[in-house]
Chains A and B, each alone.
Chain A
Amino acid sequence: MQVLEEKHKLATRWFHWINFPILSAMIFSGFLIYWAYDPYRIGLGGITLFHFFPNWVYDATHIDHKLSIGMALHFLFGWIFALNGLAYVVYTVVSGEWRELLPEKKSWIEAVDVAKHDMGLKVSLPPQGRYNAAQRITYSAIVFMGGLSLLTGLAIYKPVQLHWLTALLGGYEWARWEHFWLTMGYVGFFVIHIAQVIRAGWPNFRSMVCGYDVAKMEATHGD
């Protein structure tokens, strides 16, 4: 017999499923903004290993630039992203949910075993609460990154009115660079996150929608 146990709180699920489409809109509109001036690359001096982005990426969208609409969308969805994110942080603190989320001292070492296990090496998963050590680290980091995206974004948006913030971040050009690489971080997170969600199976995915997961039972006769 399968026993269901509560895994994700209602608030968590709302924040998560609001954030997913909103962050997607931020990244897409951010892409339209970046397209107007796209200097970033992986390289050194005269040698460029990879330029963000190659022409085929822009061609694949079947649109041509569109900076003005990118900015307008970014400054609309930015509100929802920021308010949803802020509310999630407040909720996580006030509800005590931070205890399940934030890494513990041992998480940093345990995360190595988690990674080895996930890569298929014969290492067993350390005991865990709702999240394993690697999840604690990455899910906390991603929230911290979200806050930095908001700050770097504001620094780019109002570099004179918020001159102190822009200066703190290294100036206008650096704030833009930081904002870009944080975004690349979300893209990377997303790829791994989706792969892991698929790996974890349907009941686990369902738990982020309806809140309940199948309890991890000890093996018993006849099951």
Chain B
Amino acid sequence: MVLGAGAAAGVAGWAYLNSGAPEGDIPPALRSVLGFNERVVRSALYDNGHLARTYPASAIGKIKVNGDIGLDDDVDEAAWRLQVVPFGAAAPASNLTIADIRALPRYEETIEFKCVEGWSTVTQFAGARLSDFTAKFAPGSEKAECIGMKTPDEEYYVSVDMTSAEHPQTLLAYEMNGAPLDSDHGAPLRLVIPVKYGIKNIKRIGRIEYTNSRPSDYWAERGYDWYAGL
């Protein structure tokens, strides 16, 4: 009798888990478990002092080109501008060039890039710390809860929590393995955030906004954990 009840509970549980899901997303019950796990991690585990492991140059591997959403046409690097919408602003407050980013202190890091699919490759990136960028071009926006970033054509977009954005290894990167980024890898500027899966490491950033209402995230819409933290 108990086994029968257990089996029925299992079937009912499964039916419930599979109900109410908009296409591409996961059922609400599973989404709330991911949210619960996020709260546990953020309150009990996460610390900006925990650093992703770094490697010597000899460990660098050949990284896959995985994903070209938002990279349809060639980018005109001379014409490229980065729009910045600070916290509380209604419209972009600045249009930056790559020289503006390069003027910030340059950090180099050789980290293990981890794709949500399961593979990983040690890669070297160089760029400005996102925390330095925020301090200079959107001072006071550190108190926002989230940062959203989009490609210029708005086809690919991510958002991350501010704490992870402020992590010392989170970079606005313009170089990979000692050379400027090429188009496949997100020229002229991409996000490198080793405390997150690769899905958050958006290529070819066109716009950055600071906000409390969680901006859209491409893969979160398709069923993945929004937090995606490592």
Given A158-B45, A172-B120, the answer on whether A72 and B30 have CB atoms closer than 8 Å is: yes
Given A21-B10, A72-B26, the answer on whether A161 and B120 have CB atoms closer than 8 Å is: no
In the assembled complex, A147 has its CB within 8 A of some CB on chain B: no
Across the interface, do A71 and B224 meet the contact criterion of CB distance under 8 Å?
Answer: yes
Residue of A nearest to B34 (CB): A72
In the complex, A37 Cα to B119 Cα: how many Å? Answer: 7
In the assembled complex, B41 has its CB within 8 A of some CB on chain A: yes
Contacts of A158 in B (CB 8 A): 41, 45, 229-230
Kindly count the residue-residue contacts between A and B in the assembled complex, taking CB atoms under 8 Å apart: 79
Across the interface, do B53 and A163 meet the contact criterion of CB distance under 8 Å?
Answer: yes
Stretch in B70-78, B108-116, B136-144, B152-160 touching the partner: B108-116
In the complex, A78 Cα to B133 Cα: how many Å? Answer: 39
Across the interface, do A160 and B26 meet the contact criterion of CB distance under 8 Å?
Answer: no
Across the interface, do A76 and B3 meet the contact criterion of CB distance under 8 Å?
Answer: no
In the assembled complex, B46 has its CB within 8 A of some CB on chain A: yes
Contacts of B37 in A (CB 8 A): 75
The interface bits of chain A over 122-164 (1 if a CB of B lies within 8 angstroms of the residue's CB, else 0) are 0000000000000000000000000000000000001111110
Contacts of A167 in B (CB 8 A): 53
In the complex, A160 Cα to B229 Cα: how many Å? Answer: 9
In the assembled complex, A73 has its CB within 8 A of some CB on chain B: yes
In the assembled complex, A34 has its CB within 8 A of some CB on chain B: yes
Contacts of B30 in A (CB 8 A): 69, 72-73, 76
Across the interface, do B33 and A68 meet the contact criterion of CB distance under 8 Å?
Answer: no
Across the interface, do B225 and A72 meet the contact criterion of CB distance under 8 Å?
Answer: yes
In the assembled complex, B194 has its CB within 8 A of some CB on chain A: yes
In the complex, A181 Cα to B43 Cα: how many Å? Answer: 32
The prevalent SS among residues of B at the interface is loop
Contacts of A189 in B (CB 8 A): none
Contacts of A71 in B (CB 8 A): 116, 224-225
Cβ < 8 Å to B, chain A residues 28-75:
33-34, 36-37, 39, 67-69, 71-73, 75
Contacts of A161 in B (CB 8 A): 41, 45-47, 50, 229-230
In the assembled complex, A82 has its CB within 8 A of some CB on chain B: no
Across the interface, do B45 and A68 meet the contact criterion of CB distance under 8 Å?
Answer: no
B40 CB, nearest partner CB in chain A, Å? 10
Partner among B26, B50, B115 whose Cβ is within 8 Å of the Cβ of A163? B50
Q: Would you mind naming 20 contact pairs between A and B with Cβ atoms under 8 Å apart?
A: A33-B118, A37-B115, A37-B119, A67-B116, A68-B219, A69-B26, A69-B223, A71-B224, A72-B31, A72-B34, A75-B34, A75-B37, A75-B225, A159-B52, A159-B53, A160-B229, A161-B46, A163-B51, A171-B53, A172-B120
User: Which residues of A pack against B, CB within 8 Å?
Assistant: 17, 21, 33-34, 36-37, 39, 67-69, 71-73, 75-76, 158-163, 167, 171-173, 176, 209
Beyond A163-B50, A163-B53, 19 additional pairs, beta carbon < 8 A: A17-B6, A34-B118, A37-B115, A37-B117, A67-B116, A68-B223, A71-B225, A72-B31, A72-B33, A72-B225, A73-B17, A75-B34, A159-B53, A159-B230, A162-B45, A163-B51, A172-B112, A172-B114, A173-B120
